[in-house]
A and B are shown apart, each in its own frame.
Chain A
Amino acid sequence: MTMKCAAGIETRIVDESSINLDPIQAAGRLTPEAMKAVIAWGDGYSVCDHCHKPFRLDYVTNPPIADFHSDLSKWLGMDQSQVVPGARRAFQEVTGALVSKGEPVMMTGMGHYTAYLSVEVVNGVVREIPPTPDHHITADTAAERIEAVIREFGYAPKLLFIDAVDFMYGNFHDVKGVAKVAHQYDIPVLYNGVYTVGVLPVNGKDLGADFVVGSGHKSMAAPAPSGVLATTDEYADVVLRTTKISGDVTGRKFGIKQVGILGCSLMGAPIVGLIASFPAVKERVKHWDEEVANHRIVTDALLSIEGTKIASEFPRRHTLTRMDTSASFDVVARTHKKRGFFLSSALAKRGITGIMPGVTKQWKFNTYGLSREQVEYLAGAFVDIAEENGLRIA
């Protein structure tokens, strides 16, 4: 019988029972510190126990939310920061402050859908920077597209989104080059670091970013929804502005609540989890090279299977990779009684999960946070499955 947390809710044991390769889950797994903090602080408004004047989340000192904000800004090489319920809310906060109806925003053609929606919600217009045939965003293409937007609208885009590492291929993009071009047109740059902030070192100002966005639940070992937005003093006045509204009858005013995120943004489990994991997160970014080395053990094993290719840039620089097994595992799937489900099924038998069931042509996986023993086991499992199904190993 499956253990249950509550009526109709199974106890989730994915990461206790298996090696989990889900590309979006790997770096969001909680640290033990976050798990403990969530146990103690999971109640709804728990972090408001010690909320005193001026009654704003980032002024709370117990738990140390105020210190977290200042540490976070320094750590990201920016001036000011804010916690948000997910990176998407940071996108929305920035577009809400900088983009008006009908105004253009530059987006990379490999951006997350929520970035597009953050433009749509303010009735802005998206104009894309197309990726190169090898799936990269370059400064040259960005410059061409900015010029095209100026010809079309008569003025420069109001904002430019650039993904440090995209979710489709796990490729690195020329953030510095694109930001340099954007700044030549006075376009503010939003660095989307959902696959970098929390796993590798990021310094926003060095990169030329006006905004750095990170995801707590994707890459900072925090519960969902959580994320961070960091910016410069120049843009903080606009994007992190405080309320000035008052009721026309009652005259009510709302202190120094921040408008763009509708006041206090992140409470309970997400914020304490984010803070509790932060020391471990700051430490782990220093070991990114070890994570990539572990990842390469798995990609090397996969590449040893005849017909297997890597669809992402190569050599790999990130732990999220898109594989192309259309000439190996997909060939097996054509005649296997389980069809395309043979691969996920064979992996499950070996205690491995997280790859989309039924997919054998192109699929993504992420090894972030796995131990050396686990990646060696994983590498062996892929080779074993290939051999079991008659594929040749180099």
Chain B
Amino acid sequence: MRITKCRIYNDDIMSQKAIDAVFAGLFYLTDIRTILRRTAPLHQLKDEEKATARKTIDAVRKQLTVLEEELL
């Protein structure tokens, strides 16, 4: 029988940052999905919508950076 040695569950083995980044990234993408819905079918964004989209896309990028740092 092959078993894996258990370890104490603590910050060393659990990447809370990675978990948070996954959900934050998905939530920001959901906000972008909402913009797509709100502006369908032409998706011609007004200036303020573009500003919101820009900010949200940047936030997604930040989460990806966290994931790279935490997991790779």
A interface residues, Cβ below 8 angstroms from B? 15-19, 29, 32, 35-36, 39-40, 350-352, 371, 373-374, 377
Contact = CB atoms under 8 A, between A and B. Distances in A.
Contacts of A39: 23, 26-27, 30
A16 B42 contact: no
Contacts of A371: 38-39
Main secondary structure of the interface of B (DSSP, over half): helix
* Interface size class, chain B: 10 to 19
B36 interface: yes
B41 A19 contact: yes
B41 A35 contact: no
Nearest to A31: B34
Contact of B31 (A15, A32, A40, A374): A32
Contact of B40 (A18, A32, A35): A18
Contacts of A351: 40-42
A36 B40 contact: no
A12 B7 CA distance: 42
Contacts, number: 40
Contacts of A35: 30, 33-34
Given A15-B37, A39-B23, A40-B23, A32 B42 contact: no
Contact of B41 (A17, A32, A36): A17
A373 B48 CA distance: 15
Nearest to A29: B37
Contact of A32 (B23, B34, B39): B34
A35 B27 CA distance: 8
Given A39-B26, A373-B39, A374-B38, 4 more contacts: A16-B37, A35-B34, A39-B30, A374-B40
Contact of A16 (B23, B26, B33): B33
A17 B40 contact: yes
A40 B27 CA distance: 10
Contacts of A350: 41
Contacts of A374: 38, 40
Nearest to A377: B42
Nearest to B37: A15
Contacts of B27: 36, 39
Contacts of B23: 39-40
Given A351-B42, A377-B42, A36 B37 contact: no
